[in-house]
Structure 1
Amino acid sequence: LSKRGVNGLTEEVTAVFEKFIDETKPDCVHVHNMHYFSKIHALVIRGIATKKGIPLILTAHNVWDDNLFLDLTKKVKWDHIIAVSHFIKREIIGAGYSHKGITVIHHGVDQDSYFSKASTRPVFKKYPVLRGRKIIFHPARMGLAKGCDVSIKALRIVKERFPRAILVLAGTRNIIDWGQTQQRDIAYMVSLIKSLELKDNVLIDAFPLKDMPHLYAASKVCIYPSTSSEPFGLTMLEALSSARPMVVTETGGMPEIIKDG
């Protein structure tokens, strides 16, 4: 791949897609985020869908500010676009796409997994340090874009009134580190915690998905002070479904779900 590049894969991509379409005979083709990453894949599936008379639907989970995003959003003829938030819809319209071809469908969560009476026992058993503490839960990957440093700085203020409050920064190892900044961001935040003398008030770990409902249940409040334009933010719904208050920054699609007051 490194020698041929993505452009050299057109024939292989076409063969794989055509074989799949011929075998499954779909009523429509629904792709996710194919307005980015690989121009070849988007153009190939557009060509196949047109040839076979199959509607091509795109769900856009993100937007970017570079030429690849603008090129694929405007030049690939999507029969319809589903945006995960009104923020995403506005951004796509700003890229030159007609508002008539976009429908907003917000994400949802499984309320059988995230509910107010989820057990807290697994969390306190695994992390005894959390027992009897006021837990502030920041459910996001560790990174400056997710506002983890904002949470840490805010904790210093909270600690003045609630000395035993503890901030849980819940990251995950299952991420794609596009800018190769993850380890640098973590190192900065560890240094920040030390300089603000908060090492006894912060717990950092990578939690498996199955532990998340228990963490929400154990928390007093959840926060997501993202400093980037968050497209939507599933953690908001997870917190609300768990009957926990959620504090967010007024950016991206988050104000569509969380209202002040």
Structure 2
Amino acid sequence: MAQNPTFAFVTIGSGSYLGSTIRDLTLAHSLYKRGFKVVIYWMLEHNPDLVINGIEQRILCYGTRYQFKQPSEFLDRIVGPLLSFFPKGWRTNIVQNIPGFVDRLLQNLMRSLYTESDPDPSLVKRLLKYVELDGVTHLMMSFGSISPLALEVKKLCKVPLDYLVTFQGDEQFADFAAKAGLLQNYRRRLDEAVRNSGWPAIAISRDYLQRLVTELGLDPNCFRVIYNGIDLPKQEQRLPFSILKTAFPKVRQDDAQDGAIVTFIGRQESEKGIDLLLYAAKLLAVRGVHLQLVICGSTAKGRSYQKVINDLTSHLKLVINHSGAVSFEVRDALYAHSRCIVYPSVDREAFGLVVAEAMSQGTPVLVPDIGGVTEVIQHGNIAGGLTFKTWDSADLARQLERLLKDDDLHAELAANTRALAARFSAEHMANNILEHLNLSLNRRFGEEYGSTSRVRAS
């Protein structure tokens, strides 16, 4: 392997996988700040404002490539670039209002990678061209499910190259492969890609590794668990409440009549379990326990679940503070001023970046009792939050009431949060990845973290 590694991250730019993109870019930024050359290769959608200055970016393919069962070079090379001139918000609105659009696109992506003996040959050639042009030595694949591309490039590349596969949310790709009747091909080719990498693949939690073994039949000996990383706050001083009021003008600070602020931040999709939180809020309202419920975050698969939230809120006669995606500044203000962050997912989450971020701001969390997310909130006997019985809105209400009423319990959990979150710092993740790749942890620019511009909010 070359003495001066160059990393290229192949990542899907937004939608259902934005959390995965944030993880990839957090790692990319940490490596760049240490003096490594880093390139981002975007698939389907690009989100350039999330990338710090100095890191090169290329479009590997646009989402238009997979509008039909067979990849379309014309739609990718001609229509995709033309559509990219329109504002991203406009493109997102169009997609959100076409039922099943995103699911169909991702299912077609799986067809292109797992139907034929060679996965999407023209895209492989394009990726190979970029790899050779940029002098890439380490190809970082954001998902195991797109790793067949890396395996083919490795076979064809004339210079030393290897790839690292990370699994984070691949069960969703497996579902798309199954719907296309390709699950057997998917498992076989996935196993081949994992075994032909120069390093064990990465699973982002112990529980998620067990899922990969049980559900996809992958060999646990071909994996290592390395947790995701987040950028820790530079100081413990909280953002002013006035920032929160800009997005949610009806929210009150420490309001005795309306209750404390309880927040959900994340994608507004059915698997995130927001309906469970609404049922729990209603149960608490019946008991006379008041809270100010905030629900915010993007959508990826259409606005149907947002309509469900609105309908349930109306039927349950609840008053909530409801928004779409919010800025990073408003998000951090929510973390800082909420009594707790509730993450009621029904999907056995692999990790939970929101949970780690909330704890880094000193805020306790409430999460289901299964999935990798439970590994985030607890270390030994130390906890930064509570768990509730998965899928059980009544138990969610009981545990939420404890966090709202028991000040001693809340103070004890809050005191643990920052130390627990520090285990998932971006620096720890980068150190673990470099060690995994047998590369030096220290670079000549490693002390100059202030030399690069900050991440810009999209």
Normalising to structure 2: TM-score of the pair? Answer: 0.50
SS of structure 1 residue aligned to 2:170: coil
- How far residue 212 of structure 1 moved from its aligned partner, in angstroms, is 0.7
SS of structure 1 residue aligned to 2:284: helix
Find out whether 1:170 has 2:296 as its counterpart: yes
- How far residue 81 of structure 1 moved from its aligned partner, in angstroms, is 0.3
> How many aligned positions are there?
249
Letter in 2 for 1:15: K
**1:204 matched residue in structure 2:** 322
Pick from 119, 138, 151: which aligns with 2:240? 119
After superposition, residues 221-240 of structure 1 pair within 5 angstroms as 221-240=340-359
Letter in 1 for 2:376: I
Alignment check: 8 A CA contact 2:349 2:371 kept = yes
Question: Deviations 1:181-212 (Å, cap 9, x if unpaired)?
Answer: x42222222111111110x2x11101233321
Alignment check: 8 A CA contact 1:88 1:231 kept = yes
Question: Deviations 1:119-147 (Å, cap 9, x if unpaired)?
Answer: 32211244231013411001111122101
**2:268 matched residue in structure 1:** 142
Pick from 160, 170, 183: which aligns with 1:63? 170
* Structure-2 change in CA distance of 1:9 and 1:74 (3 Å): closer
* Structure-2 change in CA distance of 1:150 and 1:111 (3 Å): same
* Structure-2 change in CA distance of 1:257 and 1:32 (3 Å): same
Per mean C-alpha deviation after superposition, the further-off stretch among 143-152 and 128-137 is 128-137
Return the alpha-carbon distance in structure 2 between the equivalents of residues 190 and 208 of structure 1. Answer: 22
SS of structure 2 residue aligned to 1:128: coil
Return the alpha-carbon distance in structure 1 between the equivalents of residues 188 and 296 of structure 2. Answer: 36
Return the alpha-carbon distance in structure 2 between the equivalents of residues 89 and 114 of structure 1. Answer: 34
Letter in 1 for 2:229: G
**1:88 matched residue in structure 2:** 208
Find out whether 1:157 has 2:277 as its counterpart: no
SS of structure 2 residue aligned to 1:227: coil
Letter in 2 for 1:93: V
* Structure-2 change in CA distance of 1:116 and 1:69 (3 Å): farther
Return the alpha-carbon distance in structure 1 between the equivalents of residues 270 and 235 of structure 2. Answer: 26
* Structure-2 change in CA distance of 1:105 and 1:193 (3 Å): same
Letter in 2 for 1:44: E
* Structure-2 change in CA distance of 1:126 and 1:236 (3 Å): closer
Alignment check: 8 A CA contact 1:86 1:104 kept = yes
Return the alpha-carbon distance in structure 2 between the equivalents of residues 17 and 111 of structure 1. Answer: 33
* Structure-2 change in CA distance of 1:69 and 1:155 (3 Å): farther
- How far residue 217 of structure 1 moved from its aligned partner, in angstroms, is 1.1
Normalising to structure 1: TM-score of the pair? Answer: 0.84
Question: Deviations 1:68-106 (Å, cap 9, x if unpaired)?
Answer: 642332122233201111122222333333323211111
SS of structure 2 residue aligned to 1:129: coil
Question: Deviations 1:14-44 (Å, cap 9, x if unpaired)?
Answer: 33222222223333222110x22585x3442
Pick from 109, 112, 116: which aligns with 2:230? 109
Return the alpha-carbon distance in structure 1 between the equivalents of residues 313 and 236 of structure 2. Answer: 32
Return the alpha-carbon distance in structure 2 between the equivalents of residues 126 and 3 of structure 1. Answer: 41
Pick from 229, 249, 252: which aligns with 1:128? 249
**2:28 matched residue in structure 1:** none
After superposition, residues 16-95 of structure 1 pair within 5 angstroms as 16-33=126-143, 35-36=144-145, 41-48=149-156, 52-64=159-171, 65=174, 66=178, 67=183, 69-76=186-193, 77-79=196-198, 80-94=200-214, 95=216
Alignment check: 8 A CA contact 2:141 2:147 kept = no
In the alignment, structure 2 segments of 5+ residues that lack a partner are 1-64, 72-111, 387-458
Alignment check: 8 A CA contact 1:221 1:246 kept = yes
Letter in 2 for 1:103: R
Return the alpha-carbon distance in structure 1 between the equivalents of residues 146 and 321 of structure 2. Answer: 35
* Structure-2 change in CA distance of 1:29 and 1:37 (3 Å): closer
